[in-house]
Every structure is written in C-alpha cells, then in structure tokens.
Amino acid sequence: MGIDGGPRTAVVIGAGVVGLSTAWFLQERGVDVTVVDRDGVAAGASWGNAGWLSPGLAIPLNEPGVLRYGLRSMLDRSAPLHVPATPDIGLWSFLTRFAVHCNWKSWGRAVRANLPFNEECLEAFDVLTANGVDAPTVEAPIMAAFENPKQALGLLHELERINDSGQEIRYTAFEGDDLGKQAPQLSPRARAGIRLDGQRHVDPGEFTRSLARAVVARGGTIRSGFRVTGVHDDSGRLSVRSGAGDSVSGDAVVLATGAWLNVLGREWGVRQPVRAGRGYSFTVPTEEAVPGPIYLPAVRVACTPYQGKLRVAGTMEFRDADAPLDQRRVDAIIASARPLLTGVSWEERTDTWVGPRPVTPDGRPLIGATKAPGRFVAGGHGMWGLTHGPITGRMLAEQITTGKQPAALRDFDPTR
C-alpha cells in the first residue's frame, strides 16, 4: 500500500474496454497495473459491438415494453430477442428477476442512475484520446428509422421520459421524403425517423487495442492466455492465480470480465447475477458512403460506418456466453433489416461475429467495492459497455485509490 493508504499496485482481470479503461485511470493516479485476460485484448464484446458512443441511447434494457415483446417472441428464433427453450434454472431465475424490474419505477431509477455517466462519458473518451489513445472518435448523429410514424412513438416517448429525468437529448423527427436525405442507405419503405444529435461512433476493436497500447506505454503489463482460477490473500497482498500455475500479485484486484463476472463475483459477495445477452454483428459493403450510424428500433438493429463499409449489429440472445455462433440469428438480422436499407451487399458480408453483453436484472451495472477486501468489480453494462467504459474506469479508479465511493457509483454498488 502507498503512504496515503491507497494501493500502489493493482491487477485488472479482463482486457476489454472497461478493464483497460480502469487500468489507464489507475495509472493516472500513480498505480502500477497488470492486466490479465484468458484470451487477449478486445477478444469479447469490445471488438464486435456497434461502436456507438451514444449517451442519448444508453437506455436501460428493462423498459416495460421489452417484457411484453419478449413474451411474444420468446421461442421465435427469428425475433430480435430470443430465449431458447432450456432447462437452465439459473437463466429462468434471472429472467424472472428481470421481469420484476420491467416497470417504469425500476426503469426510471436506472435512467437517473445513468445520468452522471451519460453526462461525462464523452469527456472521458476525450481524456483518453488527448493522452495517448490514438484511435479517433467520430461525431455524427444517429438516425433512427421506422416504417411509419406510429412505430416511432415508442422511442419518442422514451426520449421524452429521459429528458424529463434531467438528461438533455437533442432530437428531430422526420417523415416522408425528408428522411432519405438524412441517410442514403434508407430505403423508400422507411417513412419516419428520429435524428439524435450530439452522438459519436468509433472502431471499437481499434479503440480498445489503442487503449491497450497506451496502458503498456505508460508502464503497464498485459498478459494474454491467463485463465484466472482464483484470487487469494498472500501476506497482505492479493495473488491472482491461473490454471497454468502462474500468479501475479497486487494491492487491489479489479474484476472486469463482462458476461463471465459471476464466476468470481459470487465468491466476493456480488449478489446481482450477470447473464450473457449475446449480440451478433457482421460487415457489408455499400454502394454509397455511410454518413453516420443508422438505428432500426423496431427490429433492434444498429448500423455503423466501419472501415469504409457498414457494420450491422443486432439481436439479444440469452444463451451461454461461450456457445457457438448460430447462423440462423445472422439470417434473421438480414431478413429484418433488408427491407429498410438499400444499396447494401448482404451476400458479401465479412467479420461475422457473436459475443456476450453482460446484462443485470435491474438494468444497472455493477461497479465498486465488494465484500472481499481489496477486490472490486466493473461490469454488467448491458449494451453500453463501450459508451460507459472509460467513465466507469475513471470513477472506479477514484474509489480504489481514495477509499471513498463517488456519489455517481452509489446506485451501481455491486453488493446491492
């Protein structure tokens, strides 16, 4: 420990954007950091997500309409939300708890809890990109498109509720031919839209890799292929051990393993379960350049400019985090998005990917100290781990080094 009682060394388990952001901000506070990961940098959801930095759409998943929608589509493999028929008691227990929180009171609490993060998340990215992280963030509005104005009412009401809660989201509604002028990829079938201003996007894999390079350049160590089996007290320090018999020690340990957070989290007194809400993505060429992200809320598909092409991401599939890719889910995304998009070469897709987003039953992430001394967790961000990754790292680094819980983390207490 340092002279002021704070940790001098830390081990971060997980080399995604959340873990690496925590490592970077710990370094900013003078802590020597080692990051370990079972696979490597950006091997999970930090690579294949849509790349949105969108405080305007960082909306909790437990909106009441999701429950109604989920019950209707539960066993439909082509639906954007899919829950397989399975005897997994843990999954059904999680879904029961999630259903209990699908009400406006719980949703509103999660929205209010997100306010400080949504207000400061882009600034946290700016801190990183101004100090060694060389992957740019790109400012561009997000265009949400619908087949008709009636479909747009749900998102409009959500945005109104969020603005009523204190967050300011700037948006403009469009109808008819005006919509096509906003995004050339929208087909004539899209007749209503909502443009959200003040948003950004990024190449998520490259940003995460650049963040890793910055951590190493500042003296940190990153060890890939390190499969953690346990964390043990060792003469006043914490020893993180691997299945191969290796170990690395620190004064503090941060668990940032996304959908696998339960494995060690339960031992540390984390009572909220995390389940894998698996998302799929792939990349396709387009006839015209894509000016900015496109969102198709009715079919839960997000599209983003990506390396001169279009990354298409979608679906929420509650299956095991390590289950293989299901091609039927990719086909379902294409079938649902094709009518609303034009000039897209669906048959030339590349980079087909599946990865788990860590979902909590109450719509709030798990960030902070656990019941086990010196052990912290950062995860459960659902679909917004990239948007909220850097601000999570900054807030958690403050708590780890000062011993005081920032006010913004109170509703995210992992021991709740």
Given a contact cutoff of 8 angstroms between Cβ atoms, the answer to whether 15 and 222 are in contact is yes
Find the domain containing 234 and state its range: 9-412
Domain tally, the chain: 1
* CA–CA dist 176, 189 (Å, integer): 9
Task: Provide the token pair at 56.
Answer: 């305007």
Whether residue 150 lies inside any domain: the answer is: yes
- Highest mean pLDDT out of 117-126, 177-186, 324-333: 117-126
- The amino acid sitting at 158 is E
Q: According to the model, what pLDDT value does residue 73 have?
A: 57
Record the pTM: 0.92
Whether residue 234 lies inside any domain: the answer is: yes
Q: According to the model, what pLDDT value does residue 93 have?
A: 87
Whether residue 51 lies inside any domain: the answer is: yes
Q: According to the model, what pLDDT value does residue 177 have?
A: 80
Task: Provide the token pair at 26.
Answer: 């710990």
Whether residue 92 lies inside any domain: the answer is: yes
Whether residue 199 lies inside any domain: the answer is: yes
Q: According to the model, what pLDDT value does residue 3 have?
A: 47
Instruction: List strands edge to edge, sheet with 228-234.
Output: 228-234, 237-242, 247-250
Q: What is the tens place of the pLDDT at every residue in 219-251? A: 999 999 999 999 999 888 999 999 999 999 999
Is the pLDDT score of 398 beyond 90? yes
Whether residue 368 lies inside any domain: the answer is: yes
Is the pLDDT score of 285 beyond 80? yes
Q: According to the model, what pLDDT value does residue 81 have?
A: 65
How many other C-beta atoms lie within 10 A of the C-beta of residue 371?
12
Q: According to the model, what pLDDT value does residue 182 have?
A: 82
* CA–CA dist 86, 23 (Å, integer): 38
Q: What is the mean pLDDT of residues 120-133?
A: 97
* CA–CA dist 407, 395 (Å, integer): 10
Strand partners, 280: 314, 354
Whether residue 2 lies inside any domain: the answer is: no
Q: According to the model, what pLDDT value does residue 4 have?
A: 61
If DSSP codes are grouped into helix, strand and coil, which group holds residue 179? helix
Task: Provide the mean pLDDT of the chain.
Answer: 92
* CA–CA dist 282, 328 (Å, integer): 13
Q: According to the model, what pLDDT value does residue 45 have?
A: 87
Q: What is the mean pLDDT of residues 320-328?
A: 90
Q: What is the tens place of the pLDDT at every residue in 368-387? A: 999 999 999 999 999 999 99
Whether residue 4 lies inside any domain: the answer is: no
* CA–CA dist 231, 267 (Å, integer): 10
Q: According to the model, what pLDDT value does residue 236 have?
A: 81
Question: Residue 401 maps to which CATH number?
Answer: 3.50.50.60
Band of residue 78 on the pLDDT scale cut at 50, 70, 90 = low
State what percent of residues in the chain have pLDDT above 70.
94
Q: According to the model, what pLDDT value does residue 176 have?
A: 84
Where do we find the tokens 């198709």?
296
Residue 242 host element (H or E)? strand 237-242
If DSSP codes are grouped into helix, strand and coil, which group holds residue 14? coil
Is the pLDDT score of 132 beyond 70? yes
How many other C-beta atoms lie within 10 A of the C-beta of residue 123?
11
Per-residue buried b or exposed e for 163-201, using 16+ beta carbons within 10 Å of the residue's own CB: eeeebebebebbeeeebbebbebbbeebbbbbbbeebbb
Q: What is the tens place of the pLDDT at every residue in 188-208? A: 999 999 999 999 999 999 999
Task: Provide the token pair at 385.
Answer: 């781990």
Per-residue buried b or exposed e for 291-317, using 16+ beta carbons within 10 Å of the residue's own CB: ebbbbbbbbbbbbbbbeebbbbbbbbb
